[in-house]
Structure 1
Amino acid sequence: MPVRSTPWSEGTPCWVDCQVDDPVKASEFYSGLFGWTIETGGEEAGGYLMGMKGGNAVAGIGPKPQAEMPSVWTTYLAADDADAIAEQVAEVGGQVAVPPFDVLDAGRMFIGVDTVGATFGIWQARAHNGAAVHNEHGAYCWNELHTRELETAKKFYADVFGYTYSDIGDGKNMIYAMFTPREADQAAGGMNDDTLMPGDPVPSHWLTWFQFDDVDAGVQRASDLGATVLMPASDSPAGRMAMVAAPQGEVFGIIDTNVTVGEMPQ
């Protein structure tokens, strides 16, 4: 199990959490699905819970800040200076929905909205670096932005974080860009052009993928725990994958990156 004990480099997806009506019930779902143990921060943490594996942080589960908002998973991008990034977000046309604030001694954060309308978090590490466990069964392994305005999104994140991109796909069945932060030497996440997706358009959003070593068993387990299957298990060059909505409505993907079929379209 890779365990990270240092802050993530700026612009890297470093943490995920979900905001739900009932964090305790959500924790029961995710512990049942992923095998997490749940740690509470007490009253001072405002009901925020931490999913753990082997005593190391995986993801967070918290109450919604507003009752009328949907249940969602939020991707947090690492920042060396949250206040400086907030200024940059505003300068290039994004919005700072929740201004920077301190989270006890854990770190400093804010919530932003990019120029295509997708919400994201920013995390400046102090006592809490972000995810300590990643790329393992029951931990997040990939984060991607879904949008119908891919070029606009690419420019925003390049302006804020210095992302460079590797484009993949054949332009007919898949248009996808993998992004690399300025201080990284490999791709840290992706952006998908949803204009090729079937069905009604959905708003731009970040999607979290969790590694699951047997996706078919994971889909069945999630269903047994009350989830709704949005995309049945299927093979791809990235891995065998499925998408589900948890009982309170937040959407996420599960993928077994060890089971790949075919080559990425060029």
Structure 2
Amino acid sequence: MSARDATRFGEPCWADLMTSDPDGAREFYGRLFGWTAVRSAMEGSEYLTFRRGDADVAGMAVQMAGSPAEDAWSIYLAVEDVDATTRAARVAGGQVLAEPVTIGSMGRMAVVSDPTGAAVGLWQPLDFAGFGVTGEVGSPVWHELNTLDYPTAVAFYETVFGWKPVVLSDTDEFRYSTIGAEGAMVAGVFDASAHLPAGMPSHWQLYLGVADVPAAAALVSELGGTVLQEPWHSEFGTFARVSDRTGAMFVLGSVDQPDATDQPATT
């Protein structure tokens, strides 16, 4: 089990779904990944935590009625001081989308966007550190920033989060860097300027592990979701880009290869 036993600041530590259909999402993700949903113990909170067995793997919040925002997955980076990081993000050219707020005894959070327009959450852990398990079937296996301005994005995360990217490829056809401790890479930055559909902004993307990507993609369709990109194979594993019933996008990633959680998945 790839249990997380320590917080690694600057790296992804949590992901949650903002959805307009919480009951449908519970069924969809429960059947797809075997997740159960547990309601927050905080009084008045509608936040749910998805669990795979006894391990926390993701969260879910309910979209406010009338909100113009699309249903989507969000990724959070662990920080030591959310207030200081929020200020640093603003100075480095980012925008603050949600000011720092304390979430009971669990931690403090904020949401910023980098200078290329990709939104990302900040999480300062107190009682809650984030993912209980990663790198397994039914858990996060990779996180990826798809950016329209690669050099600007890399400089921002280096400055604000102390990243030390490892360049995997630096050609016009494929420009990609990975993030994480040696031998334990957890995220990547992809130059998507020539790859994203017209009108799609820079964004963070969540990869969730399955044992059989084609079968899982077929199940997504059966459950009312959409296969946005049919399963493809690469040296890093097998992947498929999908969305749930209300359009929240994520990627299915295979965990049947030893390096599937250690390398980027983008083709």
Q: TM-score, normalised by structure 2?
A: 0.91
Residue number in structure 2 paired with 1:235: 233
Measured in 2, the distance between the counterparts of 1:70 and 1:132 equals 27
**Aligned pairs, number:** 260
Measured in 1, the distance between the counterparts of 2:71 and 2:204 equals 13
Deviations 1:5-55 (A, max 9, x none): 44x211010000010112222111101100011111157252111110121
Residue number in structure 2 paired with 1:37: 36
Measured in 2, the distance between the counterparts of 1:91 and 1:204 equals 20
Q: Are 2:187 and 1:189 aligned?
A: yes
Quick one: percent identity of the two aligned structures?
33
Deviations 1:45-99 (A, max 9, x none): 5211111012110000111256210011101000111111111111111111111
Measured in 2, the distance between the counterparts of 1:163 and 1:243 equals 27
C-alpha contact (below 8 Å) 1:23/1:48 kept by paired residues? no
Measured in 2, the distance between the counterparts of 1:15 and 1:249 equals 20
Deviations 1:203-234 (A, max 9, x none): 00000001111001100111110111001011
Residue number in structure 2 paired with 1:154: 154
C-alpha contact (below 8 Å) 2:135/2:255 kept by paired residues? no
Residue number in structure 2 paired with 1:54: 53
Measured in 1, the distance between the counterparts of 2:60 and 2:229 equals 23
Residue number in structure 1 paired with 2:16: 17
Residue number in structure 2 paired with 1:132: 132
Residue pairs, 1:70-219, within 5 angstroms: 70-169=70-169, 171-180=171-180, 184-185=181-182, 186-197=184-195, 199-219=197-217
Gaps of 5+ in 2: none
Measured in 2, the distance between the counterparts of 1:4 and 1:48 equals 22
Q: Are 2:266 and 1:251 aligned?
A: no
Please report the RMSD computed on the Cα atoms of aligned residues, expressed in angstroms.
Answer: 2.1
Measured in 1, the distance between the counterparts of 2:91 and 2:173 equals 35
Q: CA deviation at 1:202?
A: 1.4
C-alpha contact (below 8 Å) 1:14/1:76 kept by paired residues? yes
Measured in 2, the distance between the counterparts of 1:169 and 1:110 equals 32
Measured in 1, the distance between the counterparts of 2:141 and 2:196 equals 25
C-alpha contact (below 8 Å) 1:5/1:129 kept by paired residues? no
Comparing 108-117 with 17-26, greater Cα deviation is found at: 17-26
Q: TM-score, normalised by structure 1?
A: 0.91
C-alpha contact (below 8 Å) 2:118/2:201 kept by paired residues? yes
Q: CA deviation at 1:164?
A: 1.3
Q: CA deviation at 1:199?
A: 4.0
Q: CA deviation at 1:198?
A: 6.3
Report the residue type matching 1:13 in the other structure: P
SS of 1:164's partner is coil
Measured in 2, the distance between the counterparts of 1:199 and 1:97 equals 24
Measured in 2, the distance between the counterparts of 1:173 and 1:104 equals 46
